Amino acid sequence: MGFSQPKIAKRVLSLFNSRRRLLIALGLLGLVPMLVSTVLLWKVLDKQLMSSHQKRLANSLHTMELVLEGKANKLNDALSSMASDNTLQVTMDLEILPQLNRYLKTHYVLTGFDYLHVVKDDGKRKTLIKFGKIGQTLSFDAETQEGTGLQLHKGSLLLTTNFPVNHHGKHLGHVYGGIALSTSVLQDLERHMIGAIPILWWKRSTVMSSDFADKPNAPQSPLKIFEWNPTGESYLGMSKVFEVANNRMQIGALVSRSELVKGLIEIAITIGMVLLLMALIAYSALRSHNIRRKAEESLEAEKEKALATLASIGDAVFSISPNDRIEYINEAAGDLLDCDPSN
């Protein structure tokens, strides 16, 4: 029983649709391991990036320690040298104020301190010279604090120190100096800590860069990463204890969490591009294979059609190879040559 042309077309179309659905299902099935691999790789990279940020924060804290120690040593060395300088001793003893003023101004400019004072103590304390805007409002109570220390003065955290000035066994007074950690030192720290934001804590007070001056205090988490969201933007941070003479303070560093997300997005895009490239290569290879297979099938069909045509005609047809061997004869040629075409 034969089939009508519409029924044959429907069966062919049905077979084509089934094959297409199968290919789509196989393609989707092939995407599952790729997606699983992508998720697992994302988690591994997230962990590695978090570890990288932890090392970065630890390095930033080490940098802060070095900078702060350098500032404290510079402050001590400069004031110790000044206290033992004969020029300062003589001008203090004789109260030669113009020369003393020039001497202190030179050292104030060279050292970069935020304030520099000379106080004479001959029974009655008297400030001879003051340099620095911060120093103009310091009280005598603050100035009489002995040794290196920390002091919070009108919102500025000061690293201060002083040295006694003696001349030929006679005590003349003290030379005082200080650095504002909340201004110049924070700026130096930001230059050294590329991509990280420094924080200082002392006696429940948080000293930060101007960008965070009006934000809530960041949490303290010694040598452990903490998260902080001051105004919607998320930060990762770490802190540790730092000692200045006998004063303990907390130092910390922040990095923007958006950098971590940005890094993950860049990695995800790279992975996606690689997967897309692999898919395109696989598709191109499959398409080339299909084109070649269809070409071979078409060629074979044409060959069979040609052979059928040659076999059906009444004229004798035969072909000879370059080596003068008979490659093909049809039935008419076989009858003519008295040979079997199938052989």
| pLDDT (tens digit per residue) in 295-331 | 888 888 787 777 777 667 777 777 777 787 777 777 7
What pLDDT score was predicted for residue 5? 47
CA angle (144, 106, 126) in 5-degree steps: 30
Is the pTM value of this prediction over 0.85?
no
What pLDDT score was predicted for residue 140? 46
Residue with tokens 């202190």: 104
pLDDT below 50 — which residues of the chain? Answer: 1-5, 12-13, 15-16, 140-144
CA angle (28, 30, 35) in 5-degree steps: 85
Closest alpha carbon to 74 in 66, 64, 84, 62 = 66
Q: How far is CA 339 from CA 45, 308, 317, 322, 327, in A?
A: 77, 19, 13, 21, 13
